[in-house]
Structures are given as structure tokens and as C-alpha cells.
Amino acid sequence: MKLERYKLIFLIAGLIGVLIIASPALTGFIHFPSGERLSELYLLGSGNMMANYPFNIAVGQNNSVNVGVTNQLGSSAYYVLYVELKNQTDPFPNATTESPSSLPPLYEYRFFASNDQTWESKLNFTVSAATFSESQSIIKVLTINNFAFNANKPAEWDATDKTFTYQLLFELWTYNTKTSSVTYNNRYVNLQLNLTQSS
């Protein structure tokens, strides 16, 4: 091999070494594209696992889930998390138009989370009063974290699944500094429930 080829190999290896050594300093000048900035919303069942969610619930029965938010927006954020009660005909939020549901919130969490911080809280809920007929159930009072709410939410009997289907809907909103108001973050999760007359 000729001497010129060795010089070229040493020159290339030297340049690569200089770039590797200088890379921490270069990050101040070169901005690489970052991943998608978002907020992660999740529900966990008993034992803080992605399992063992309450499904068959009875009047007077205590139930719980853990709800959490991880801030990956790149900066601190102020959040509002609304908890709503949905039946099988109520609309979900619309992901295409980024519109929230039209349901009134029963309960809310308000909290700050810095970038890469996870906020988590236990949500306890009980159907405190309900009525039943052959074709319909009505949740009269829903208690969330020891606060009772007049829900008056009906659900029709589903003969196929043999259920009175409800859902707890969790919608995530963030404070928008441009509008000085909270806006829907296009993130929601739901917990499907079957109301039974006995546990």
C-alpha cells in the first residue's frame, strides 16, 4: 500500500476522532430534530398494573383505578384532567377534529408537571344510588374520591352482552398561554363498566 493511502486513512480516522470528541460542544450549535412532544395519559388497575381493572360494579361497591400523566412537552405544563360518566350513546372525544366530548365533567384534577415528570393519583369511585328496570338502569349518584355527584345517567340493557354499559371517561386538558385558558389536549382514556344489581 502506498504512503498516500495511509495518510488518507489516518486523516479520515483523525477527523472522526475529532468529531466524536467535539460532539458534546456541537450540541449547543446544532439542534437535532426531537421526538413528538406530547402528554401521555394512562389508567392502571389494582396493584398499579395494566390489568385487574374493575368491570362488574354493584351499587355501594368501592372501586379504584390509578390515573397518571407523563409530561413530554419539553417544558412544564399546567394540566386539568376531567372525569366524566358516559353511557353507550354518548359521544367520545373526536380525535380527527381534536374536539372533547360534550359530557359535563363530574370531577377534576388540577396539577403542574415539569418536563419528563409523571403525576399519578388514585381514583376511588362508588355507585352510591341507582335504579333498575328490565330494559334500563340509571346511575343516580356517583361518588368520586368521597365527593357525591348527581349523575342521573341512564343506560339501556344490551341483550347481546347482557350488560348495562357505562364508562368513566378521562379527558386531558392543558393551560394555553396564548389564550389564557385550558384547551383540550386530544388525549383521553376510558374505563368500561357493567352496572350490576348485586356484587
Interatomic CA distance for residues 109 and 42, integer angstroms? 14
pLDDT given at position 177: 87
Instruction: Specify the higher pLDDT residue, 96 or 28.
Output: 96
- The pTM (predicted TM-score) of the whole model is 0.80
* pLDDT confidence bin for 198, thresholds 50/70/90: confident
What is the model's pLDDT at position 156?
96
Over its C-alpha atoms, the chain yields an Rg (Å, rounded) of 26
Instruction: Note the pLDDT tens digit of each residue in 172-183.
Output: 999 998 899 999
d(CA 172, CA 69): 9
The per-residue pLDDT for 106 is: 97
The model's pLDDT over 132-169, given as tens digits with 9 standing for 90+, comes to 999 999 999 999 999 999 999 999 999 999 999 999 99
Q: What is the pLDDT of residue 33?
A: 47
Residue 37 — pLDDT band, cuts 50, 70, 90?
A: confident
Residue 9: partners with Cβ closer than 8 Å, 6 or more residues away = none
C-alpha cell at 75: 417544558
pLDDT of residue 27: 47
pLDDT for position 46 = 84
Q: Which three cell numbers stand for residue 104?
A: 359535563
pLDDT at 91 over 60: yes
Contact 167, 29 (CB under 8 A): no
7-21, 49-63, 107-121, 184-198: segment of lowest average pLDDT: 7-21
CATH superfamily of this structure's domain 38-196: Immunoglobulins (2.60.40.10)
Q: How many residues does the chain have?
A: 199
Q: pLDDT for 109-127, tens place per residue?
A: 999 999 999 999 999 999 9
Cβ–Cβ < 8 Å for 44, 51: no
* C-alpha span between 43 and 29 (Å, rounded): 40
Is the model's pLDDT at 77 over the cut of 90? yes
